[in-house]
Amino acid sequence: SSELTQDPAVSVALGQTVRITCQGDNLRSYYATWYQQKPGQAPVLVIYSKNSRPSGIPDRFSASSSGNTASLTITGAQAEDEADYYCHSRDISGYRWVFGGGTKLTVL
Amino acid sequence: EVQLVQSGAEVKKPGESLQISCKASGYSFTTYWIGWVRQMPGKGLEWMGIIYPGDSDTTYSPSFQGQVTMSADKSISTAYLQWSSLKASDTATYYCARLDCSGSSCNYYYYGMDVWGQGTTVTVSS
C-alpha cells in the first residue's frame, strides 16, 4: 500500500483551475515531485523540488505544500493536460521513495 | 541528446529467468542514479529501487527486495533488471529513469526522475 494518498479522479472545465492533492506523513519532511503520464507513454516530470519546472513544462503547472499535503495546481487547464498525475516522495525512512496511487485528470 | 533506451517486449513462462536492459546515452552514466519503476496493467506507478552505476550501490523497495536484482555495466552504459524465476504477477511494464540528484541516497539534493526510458513490457503466462 502507498504511503501517499491521492484522489483517484478529478475533473476540470477547459480553461479553469484544478488542484490535485497528495497526502502523507512523509510530506511533512520531504518535497513531492510530480509526474504526468498520458496513455501508452512514459511518465514525464512536471514539478520537482519545492516548486520548480523542468524546461518545456508550461508555467500553468505549479506546486505547493502545507503540513502533510502536497498539491499540484494547473491554472487554465488545457485539453492536452488530460492525463494521470502521480506524486512521488521519500518514504518515512528517507532512503527510499514511494509513489502516490495517481489521479486521473479529465478536462471537460 | 540525453536518453534511455530500453530493451524490447518479452513474453515468458512462469519460472523462467529474464534480464531487461536500459542503455544510457548523452550523459555521464556513472554519475547519475538509475531508478526502476513497475506499472502493472491498468495500475499506478510503483518504485522498485535505484542503482548508482559508479559503484553499483543499490537500494530496493521492501516490496521488491529479493524479488529482482538491479545491476549495471559501466563499460556499455547499461543498467539491468533481472528475475531468476518469473511469476504471472510480474506481468507489467517496467521503466528505467535517471535520477537528477546528488549524494549518497540523493541526500544532498533531489530534483526528480528527469529522463525516462520508453518502457519494457513483460508478459508472463503459461
Cα–Cα distance measured from residue A12 to residue B40, given in angstroms and rounded to the nearest whole number: 27
Residue of B110, B124, B84 lying closest to B32 (CA atoms): B110
The amino acid sitting at A54 is P
pLDDT for B6: 98
Low-confidence stretches of chain A (pLDDT < 70) are: 1-2
Q: Which of A53-62, B79-88, B98-107 has the lowest mean pLDDT?
A: B98-107
Q: What are phi and psi of A28, to 5 degrees?
A: -70, -20
Which percentage of chain B shows pLDDT scores above 70? 100
Contact pairs from chain A to chain B, CB under 8 Å = 69
- Residue B39: CB atoms within 10 A of its CB come to 20
Interface of B with A (CB under 8 A): 35, 37, 44-47, 49-50, 59-62, 95, 97, 100, 105, 109-114, 116-119
Over range B37-51, report the average pLDDT. Answer: 98
Cβ contact B37–A43 (<8 Å): yes
Q: Is residue B106 very low, low, confident or very high in pLDDT (cuts 50, 70, 90)? A: confident
Q: Are B46 and B63 in contact (CB under 8 A)?
A: yes
pLDDT for B108: 83
Residue of A84, A34, A88 lying closest to B43 (CA atoms): A84
pLDDT for A2: 57
Q: Is residue B96 very low, low, confident or very high in pLDDT (cuts 50, 70, 90)? A: very high
Q: Are A72 and A87 in contact (CB under 8 A)?
A: yes
Q: Is residue B34 very low, low, confident or very high in pLDDT (cuts 50, 70, 90)? A: very high
Q: Is residue B103 very low, low, confident or very high in pLDDT (cuts 50, 70, 90)? A: confident
The amino acid sitting at A56 is G
Q: B64 to each of B2, B37, B43, B69, B70, how far by Cα in Å?
A: 28, 11, 17, 9, 11
Residue of A63, A103, A59 lying closest to A83 (CA atoms): A103
Mean of the per-residue pLDDT values for chain B?
Answer: 96
Q: Which residues of A touch B119 (CB under 8 A)?
A: 42
Over range B53-64, report the average pLDDT. Answer: 95
Query: Is A13 exposed, middle or buried (CB count within 10 Å of its CB: 0-12, 13-18, 19+)?
Result: exposed
Cα–Cα distance measured from residue B22 to residue B2, given in angstroms and rounded to the nearest whole number: 13
pLDDT over 90 at B107, yes or no: no
Cα–Cα distance measured from residue A36 to residue A85, given in angstroms and rounded to the nearest whole number: 5
pLDDT for B38: 98
Query: Which of B45, B105, B116 lies closest to A86 in CB terms?
Result: B45
